[in-house]
Amino acid sequence: MLRERGLRLTPQRQLVLEAVRRLGHATPEQVHEAVVANSPGVNITTIYRTLELLEELDLITHVHLSHGALTYHWASEDQHVHLVCRKCESVQELDVAELRPLAARLQEQYGFRLDIAHVALFGECKECQ
Amino acid sequence: MLRERGLRLTPQRQLVLEAVRRLGHATPEQVHEAVVANSPGVNITTIYRTLELLEELDLITHVHLSHGALTYHWASEDQHVHLVCRKCESVQELDVAELRPLAARLQEQYGFRLDIAHVALFGECKECQ
DNA sequence: TTGCCTGCAAACCCTTTGCATAGTC
DNA sequence: GACTATGCAAAGGGTTTGCAGGCAA
């Protein structure tokens, strides 16, 4: 995919992609830690640039969990919605199917195409209530 | 309300509250601009501290629109959900009623109490599709 | 060899903290 | 007069940019 676009396949790019896939959900900093564990010296700047690139290629996506905390994950992984508790900060995953009715309604009524997997819903979890 | 809690009523606090109510949705920086327009010299630190305080008092709330951009708004205003277009960054408002079925379902099935007004949904708006 | 990628350092934005002073009660 | 709230300055976290050198093609 990279070469098709005239881009280059570098060790760093492979490492970042691998790390995201392995970690499941991870912030840029967590990806950095994981990459550095194998090959020290990789700069966090490269992590940011690579994450952005991989997202353009639709290999990964990101979601805003809270306070602007970005988490990236493998794009083809089972999609899910994130339920974020504002009290204990815990994150619960939810099958995207739960949002299908809403998505359909938004598309029909408002012409808005909901990016289901990009959604984070805030509230209060069972334990905190 | 402030005095009940042993807190003080200051011009700055009145100005911030007024600005939030008047602006509808505003980032801390926008609130700051609005306040400074009337009374220059009010520091942005005070804006942050006051916004936090007013939120504790349930006079205002905030929502994460994108990239960690906080926007505050008057708490008793008609509640609404935000539809954020990831392409053009536009924000559309949606009646919270649209999310009631989902909220009910989350409560029943997962014990998660959805904070409806705090939700921002990401996707692509009509124009960008 | 070409020119994209990287590492490094510094800048950047937004937000928070420490401290002395001002101002409310 | 007591003690909270403010302004100022500086630090902080996370992210982005500029630039010279390194490396894939």
What are the phi and psi torsion angles at B123 (to 5°)? Answer: 170, -145
B32-81 pLDDT, tens per residue? Answer: 999 999 999 999 999 999 999 999 999 999 887 766 678 999 986 677 88
Q: Which position has the token pair 């042993």?
A: B6
List the domains of chain B with CATH numbers: 3-74 (1.10.10.10), 80-123 (3.30.1490.190)
Protein-covered nucleotides on strand C (Cβ within 7 A): 4-10, 14-18, 23-25
Predicted pLDDT of residue A88: 77
For chain B, the residue count is: 129
Contact B110 A123 (CB under 8 A): no
> Does the CA dihedral A31-A35-A37-A40 come out positive or negative?
negative
AA letter at B70: L
Specify the DSSP element, H or E, that contains B114: strand B113-114
Scanning every strand, the nucleotide with its C1' closest to B68's CA turns out to be C14
pLDDT beyond 90 at B122: no
pLDDT beyond 90 at B13: yes
* pTM as predicted: 0.85
DSSP-derived secondary structure for B29-91: HHHHHHHHHHSTT--HHHHHHHHHHHHHTTSEEEEE-STT-EEEEETTSPPEEEEEETTT--E
Q: What is the mean pLDDT of each run of 10 residues along chain A (129 residues)?
A: 93 98 93 96 98 95 77 81 81 88 94 86 87
Scanning every strand, the nucleotide with its C1' closest to A13's CA turns out to be C5
Predicted pLDDT of residue A121: 87
In chain B, which residues have their Cβ closer than 8 Å to the Cβ of A68? 64, 67-69
In chain B, which residues have their Cβ closer than 8 Å to the Cβ of A123? 106, 112-115, 118
